[in-house]
Structure 1
Amino acid sequence: MPQMAPLYWLFLFLFFLSTLLVFFMMNYFIKPFEKKEHSLSKKDLKFKVWTL
C-alpha cells in the first residue's frame, strides 16, 4: 500500500523515470535501422521483383 512505504514508491518512481530517460536517449542516439541504398535498379538481380 502506498501509505505504508512512501520512500519505496518514490524510489520506484525515480527508477521508472530514469529507465524511461535511458530508453529515449538510446532511441535518439543509436539508430537501429540505418537507411541503406536500394539496389533494385540493377539488372543482375537473382530474384524476381514482385509487384501487385
Structure 2
Amino acid sequence: MPQMAPINWLILFLFFFMMLYLIMNFMYFMFIKNIKMKKNLKIQLKNYNKFI
C-alpha cells in the first residue's frame, strides 16, 4: 500500500468530524427539540385549561 500524505489524513479527519457534527446537530433538532416542543405544548394546554 502506498503511504498517504499527512495532509490527506488531516482532510479525512476534518471531513469525518464535520459529518459527525452535522449528524449530531440534525439528530438534536429532529428528535430532542420535537420532544421538548410536544412536552411544552402539553404543559401550556394544561395551564391554559386551569386558567379557564
Q: TM-score, normalised by structure 1?
A: 0.54
Instruction: Tell me how far apart the structure 1 counterparts of residues 43 and 18 of structure 2 sit (CA, whole Å).
Output: 37
Instruction: Tell me how far apart the structure 2 counterparts of residues 10 and 37 of structure 1 sit (CA, whole Å).
Output: 47
Aligned-CA RMSD value: 2.2
Aligned to 2:11: 10
Instruction: Tell me how far apart the structure 2 counterparts of residues 21 and 37 of structure 1 sit (CA, whole Å).
Output: 31
Instruction: Tell me how far apart the structure 1 counterparts of residues 14 and 26 of structure 2 sit (CA, whole Å).
Output: 18
- Structural mapping, 1:16-31, within 5 Å: 16-31=17-32
Whether 1:37 aligns to 2:38 is: no
Q: Which runs of 5 or more structure 2 residues have no equivalent in the other structure?
A: none
Identity percentage of aligned residues: 14
Instruction: Tell me how far apart the structure 1 counterparts of residues 22 and 12 of structure 2 sit (CA, whole Å).
Output: 15
Residue identity opposite 2:43 in structure 1: E
1:5-33 superposed Cα distances (whole Å, 9 cap, x missing partner): 10000000000100000011011100254
Instruction: Tell me how far apart the structure 1 counterparts of residues 43 and 11 of structure 2 sit (CA, whole Å).
Output: 48
Which one scores higher on RCO, CA 8 angstroms, separation ≥ 6? 1
Aligned residues, how many?
A: 38
